[in-house]
Amino acid sequence: MSDLSVIGLHKYYGKLHVLRGLDLHIKSGEGVVLLGANGCGKSTLMRCMNGLETVQAGDISIGDQVVTQTGGRALRHLRRRVGVVFQQFNLVENLSVLQNVLYGAMGRYPGGILRVWASIAPTELRSKAMDCLERVGMADNAGSRCRELSGGQQQRVAIARMLMQEPDVILADEPVASLDPKAGREVMDLLWEVVRERRLTVFCTLHQLELATAYADRIVGMKAGEIVLDSKTEAADSEHLADLYRGNTRVDAQPATAMDDTPKNGITAHDLEAS
Amino acid sequence: MSETSSTPPTKHVSAPPPRMSSPSWFAWLILLGFGFLLFQGVQTAEISAERLWRGMNNLVIFLAQAVPPDWSDLDVIASAMLETLYMAVVGVTAGIILSLPFALLASRNTSPYPVVRVVARFMIATMRTIPDLIWALIFVVAVGLGPLAGILAIVLDTIGFAARFFSERIEEVRPGPSQALTASGAGRISVIFGAILPETLASMAATSLYSVEKAIRSAVTLGLVGAGGIGVELSTSMRLFQYDKAFAIILIVLVAVIGFEQISSAIRKRVI
């Protein structure tokens, strides 16, 4: 089972209260898009989901495993089941496309890097990586270095790496925010196709309302560290969606100076987004 | 005269900052201290026209005795030069290999514990701060005269230099790829070798080549304190006033070092 659930989640950076009591449940196989303005805590929530950040209160669980209470080996075991797609693709640019895809399988084997290094990896692993590349239409570029690829191509390779991982749940943090509209559409199409094929659970943050309504089963909206909207895509009306970007949206804005962008505690909303 | 130029400058709400600002008291203090040291330094050197003139004469005498260079002991010089190259190659290879673990322990993003990082940084800084000639003196005491002392001195000198640059490069690697591998459940060591080191290889190769150049230059001088290599021959012939032989040695050194720098910079261009 790969239900995703968040119960009473609170997260602080120092004194800054970033996530202010979140409750969310995503059913296995559901595609949920998370919307919200810059600095509302979206990325922080994503990072908490696979244990890259510790939380101060509340629980996150994937299937029957509680992310917030595991650590060490068990957490690594859990992370294997969660594929992540990043805004900046996060490929190792100096290495070949095939090597980057093979890295997707690294967590599965005890030998770690020795098992998936392209020159010594077992043949079946290499051919599986080629299958994944085939699926995203990048098999012809298997030998190129990642730095030679365009943004859209890099994100395709990142999706192939994610497929190689054989996850149950996918977290996608602004997967198309660094791409032009056309490449963004193509990547979203591809991502949703593979997700539907494998009946994976997806939790995806996006910036563009039109993309959200086009792909999501359900839309969740965040504003200033709280979930303020949660509805089926058909039922989400544009007025409510537009409201997500109005007024006091940031977690670091103080009530008295709601429109002020000055950082507090040395952490700016930009840091939260970028991290 | 046009109308615009005759109008007085517009009144601004806030005045522009002053054209000049006085240096801070700290800057004055530094300047004063520096001036004092400079003055004292010139005094200590006891520079006089008479001394400079005498020095110039001695230099001419040296050159007159040195030219033509004495090539009669070419076989001895050549084998000493070869020994120097061996010292540099062995020392720098060991140094580079040892630099990698030091650099990994000393970098913020790869060090297991902050304490380890502080200790590693301190060790690297010590190896760098103490000059190679002093290391050679210490190792001559420890392992006796000969190339081994020189090799050990080069090893430490290389670590002090290369580990620092490796570590700086490692800390500059963008965190994204390591984060991606961590998020997929990979272990720490796998992340370091899979995502961090591949991004630093080119820069490390360049640093290593530069270390080789540096090692050859220092291997030449290490012989002056008896740590093997061509420096031993040079210091002997200088002491015996065999300036023509010394000149031959200096020429050989010049050719070898320049030749090696050429090769190394050619390789570096291909790597980067």
3-class DSSP state for residue B65? Answer: helix
Instruction: Report the number of secondary-structure helices (H) and strands (E) in chain B.
Output: 12, 0
CA of B45, closest CA in chain A: separation in Å?
52
b/e sequence B8-22, b meaning 16+ C-beta within 10 Å: eeeeeeeeeeeeeee
Q: What is the pLDDT of residue A263?
A: 43
**How many whole angstroms separate alpha carbon B134 and alpha carbon B132?**
5
Residue A204: pLDDT band with limits 50, 70, 90: very high
β-strands A57-62, A4-13: how paired?
antiparallel
Q: What is the pLDDT of residue A74?
A: 87
Residue ranges of E strands in chain B? none
- For residues B195 and A71, the model is more confident at B195
**How many whole angstroms separate alpha carbon B171 and alpha carbon B157?**
22
Within 13 Å of residue B156, how many CA atoms lie on the same side as its CB? 21
Q: What is the pLDDT of residue B19?
A: 84
C-alpha pair distances (Å), A223 with each of A31, A252, B65:
20, 11, 87
pLDDT at residue A196 is higher than 60: yes
Contact A112 B202 (CB under 8 A): no
Sign of CA dihedral B249, B250, B254, B255: negative
Selected residue of A75, A94, A171 to mutate for chain B interface (largest B Cβ count, 10 A): A94
Distance of CA A13 to the CA centre of its chain: 20
The pLDDT tens digits for B44-90 are 888 888 999 999 999 999 899 888 888 888 899 999 999 999 999 99
**Could you give the percent of chain B with pLDDT greater than 90?**
58
C-alpha pair distances (Å), A42 with each of A20, A38, A60:
12, 8, 15
pLDDT at residue A1 is higher than 80: no
> Number of A:B CB contacts under 8 A?
75
CB distance from A112 to chain B under 8 Å?
A: yes
Residue A233: pLDDT band with limits 50, 70, 90: confident
Range of lowest pLDDT (A34-43, A124-133, B122-131): A34-43
Residue B122, C-beta contacts closer than 8 angstroms, at least 6 positions apart: none
Q: What are phi and psi of B227, to 5 degrees?
A: -95, 35
Contact B184 A107 (CB under 8 A): yes
Sign of CA dihedral B65, B66, B67, B73: positive
pLDDT at residue A260 is higher than 70: no
Facing residue for A106 by CB, picked from B184, B198, B202: B184
Token couple for B248: 């031959």
Residue B8, C-beta contacts closer than 8 angstroms, at least 6 positions apart: none
**How many whole angstroms separate alpha carbon A55 and alpha carbon B133?**
54
Token couple for B265: 């910079």
Element (DSSP H or E) covering residue B2: none
Architecture of domain A1-81+211-275 in CATH? Answer: 3-Layer(aba) Sandwich (3.40)
A74: nearest CA partner in chain B: B185
pLDDT at residue B11 is higher than 70: no
Range of lowest pLDDT (A142-151, A240-249, B144-153): A240-249
pLDDT at residue A54 is higher than 90: no
Token couple for A81: 């089941």
B193: nearest CA partner in chain A: A113
What is the amino acid identity at position A270? H
A78: nearest CA partner in chain B: B185
pLDDT at residue A226 is higher than 80: yes
A142, A130 Cβ separation under 8 angstroms: yes
Question: What is the average pLDDT across A178-203?
Answer: 92
pLDDT at residue A265 is higher than 70: no
pLDDT at residue A89 is higher than 50: yes
Q: Which of A83, A87, A121, A88 is nearest to A102 (CA)?
A: A121
pLDDT at residue B5 is higher than 90: no
Mean pLDDT of chain A: 86
Residues of B whose CB is below 8 A from A76: 185-187
**Stated length of chain A:** 275
Residues of B whose CB is below 8 A from A146: none
pLDDT at residue A259 is higher than 50: no
Element (DSSP H or E) covering residue A232: strand A226-232
What is the amino acid identity at position B112? P
Q: What are phi and psi of B201, to 5 degrees?
A: -60, -45
Residue B10: pLDDT band with limits 50, 70, 90: low
Domains parsed from chain B with CATH numbers: 71-271 (1.10.3720.10)
**Could you give the percent of chain A with pLDDT greater than 90?**
50
A118: nearest CA partner in chain B: B194
**How many whole angstroms separate alpha carbon B256 and alpha carbon B259?**
5
**Could you give the percent of chain B with pLDDT greater than 70?**
95
Helix, strand, coil share of chain A (percent; to 5): 40, 25, 35
Q: What are phi and psi of A208, to 5 degrees?
A: -95, 125
Residue B8: pLDDT band with limits 50, 70, 90: low
Q: How many other C-beta atoms lie within 10 A of the C-beta of residue B41?
A: 9
Mean pLDDT of chain B: 89
**Could you give the percent of chain A with pLDDT greater than 70?**
92
Residues of A whose CB is below 8 A from B176: 86, 88-90
pLDDT at residue A191 is higher than 90: yes
